Structure 1
Amino acid sequence: MDVGLVERERARVLAVLPGAELEHVGAASVVELVLVVDDPADEASYVPALEVAGFRVSVRESWHEHRVLTRPGVEVHVHPRGCAVVWRRLLLRDWLRDNPGDRGPGGELEVLERAWAAVPEEPAEVEFVTQAPPHNAPIVLAEYDPAWPGWYAAEEAKIRAALGERVVRVEHCGSTSVPGLAAKPLIDIVLVVPDSRDEDAYVPALVEAGYYLWAREPGWFEHRLLKGAVPNVNMHVFSPWCVEVDRMLAFRDRLRSHDADREEYERVKRELAVRTWERVQDYADAKTRVVRRITLRALG
């Protein structure tokens, strides 16, 4: 790739969108740039400027709100902030820059798995607020129950009634959100609020609604975990534009739409469930490899 050409095209975009978050990705003869914006559907915020620079919209997709604008020899891929597709592309790019032996054709998924596994992870500092973490917890998988979506719907209604406009987004995630998948009868919920660090803005209202704050993880996307007892609920609270939210939902949607991936995941879950685990989290950690593999497929 002609480095000078890449820099000229970057400069072309930045001249009409000063300060834009812009990355060079790909290795093809076409210059591929990734532009990150708050909302790709708000085309008025960036398309007219890029049209002045000679670009035209060629693709609009609901998939991660993807837009593509082109001019001869150049593609600008537009995604929202916190998009896991952007994370995936940068993960691959940075790995291949440092590992030229992986630049050959084929095997991209395996390369991405190696790249993700090599990302250094800081030891998680978890502050358990309500109770100590459970030990020697058995893992009991139940066959899929058609009642689970109804359980979630009731919890969503409760959350929205408690928080009103403070709910940015709420989604059913985890295994109970995937029809046909065996799971612990546990409703996992992703809740996005304006700022997960501002606990006073949402925790008291959720406590009043019957949940309790169980743990804080400031070093991991400022994650907060609230629980409910009837039914058993894990509520994962994040701030907007969090890549982990996008990864979690991409994994869920892939399992919903691809039978082979759902069967692969269930097979691993069943193999792990028969073992003895000191903590439930150890069981979850043991699923990391298959979860990552399926997530990467979802983002490909």
Structure 2
Amino acid sequence: MALTSKICAYDNHWPAAFTAEQARIAQGLGVELVDIQHVGSTAVPGLAAKPEIDLLAVVVEHRDEAARNAFMATLGYVRGSDLSPGHHFYRRDVEGVRTHKVHVCICGHEQIGRMLRFRDLLRQDSGIRQQYQDLKLRLEAGNREGIGEYLAQKAPFIDAVMDGLSR
């Protein structure tokens, strides 16, 4: 079973794709919105990635989920399962290909800092960035069960790196 997209070399157009989507999403989140950040591998220059733009939207609280879901649907997003309490997930596919993922987290959610710290570490540390890229490519090559398997196999590396930061 394939991943949602094939890993490819870093594309210099990814930051512009984030900026365009950031503006579209910000319109619908209104006063609830605190910030939108580019996260995930496409936010790290030089890192090979699935060409899926990850956005992290921080909101004051989850006020009117039905209205947000309806707005996101107008942009082509489908609400996925919540990743944890206070952490909502949306995905956008174009012609069967995943193009964007949006994480909507309430202020103070632990995943906000974790996503930003991991992104920033990969931007700053070329050795860790290379190790992570090598791991992702190995996991893609050996993947048999799809995206769930891929994410589960990346998690120990990310956890180890993040645990090292907190020491």
TM-score (norm 2): 0.88
Q: What is the CA-CA distance between 1:244 and the residue it aligns to?
A: 1.3
Match 1:228 to one of 92, 111, 119: 92
Partner of 2:130: 263
Asked if structure 2 preserves the Cα contact closer than 8 Å seen for 1:142 and 1:184, the reply is yes
Partner of 1:287: 154
Partner Cα distance (1:178, 1:250) in 2: 12
The share of aligned pairs that are identical, in percent, is 33
Partner Cα distance (1:277, 1:192) in 2: 34
Asked if structure 1 preserves the Cα contact closer than 8 Å seen for 2:32 and 2:61, the reply is no
Over residues 239-274 of structure 1, what are the superposed CA-to-partner deviations in whole Å (9 max), with x where a residue is unaligned?
110111111110000000111110111111111110
1:297 lines up with 2:161 in the alignment: no
1:222–1:166 distance in 2 versus 1, CA, 3 Å = closer
Match 1:199 to one of 65, 83, 103: 65
1:299–1:149 distance in 2 versus 1, CA, 3 Å = farther
Over residues 217-249 of structure 1, what are the superposed CA-to-partner deviations in whole Å (9 max), with x where a residue is unaligned?
4xx233221112247111111111011111111
Over residues 141-188 of structure 1, what are the superposed CA-to-partner deviations in whole Å (9 max), with x where a residue is unaligned?
100000011111111010112222221221111100000000011111
Partner Cα distance (1:292, 1:169) in 2: 25
Q: What is the CA-CA distance between 1:197 and the residue it aligns to?
A: 6.9
AA aligned opposite 2:90? L
AA aligned opposite 2:141? V
Partner Cα distance (1:222, 1:241) in 2: 10
Partner Cα distance (2:160, 2:137) in 1: 17
AA aligned opposite 2:2? A
Partner Cα distance (1:215, 1:144) in 2: 28
Partner Cα distance (1:299, 1:243) in 2: 13
Partner Cα distance (2:23, 2:102) in 1: 14
Partner Cα distance (2:163, 2:16) in 1: 29
Match 2:42 to one of 156, 176, 181: 176
**C-alpha root-mean-square deviation of aligned residues, in Å?**
1.9
Partner Cα distance (2:73, 2:79) in 1: 8
Instruction: Give the total of aligned pairs.
Output: 163
Unaligned runs of 5+ in 2: none
1:251 lines up with 2:114 in the alignment: no
1:167 lines up with 2:167 in the alignment: no
Partner Cα distance (2:144, 2:112) in 1: 27
- Deviating beyond 6 angstroms after TM superposition, the runs of 4 or more aligned structure 1 residues are none
AA aligned opposite 1:276? N
1:197–1:268 distance in 2 versus 1, CA, 3 Å = farther
Unaligned runs of 5+ in 1: 1-135
Asked if structure 2 preserves the Cα contact closer than 8 Å seen for 1:167 and 1:191, the reply is yes
Q: What is the CA-CA distance between 1:213 and the residue it aligns to?
A: 1.2
Partner of 1:103: none
Greater RCO (Cα-Cα under 8 Å, separation 6 or more): 2
AA aligned opposite 1:274? A
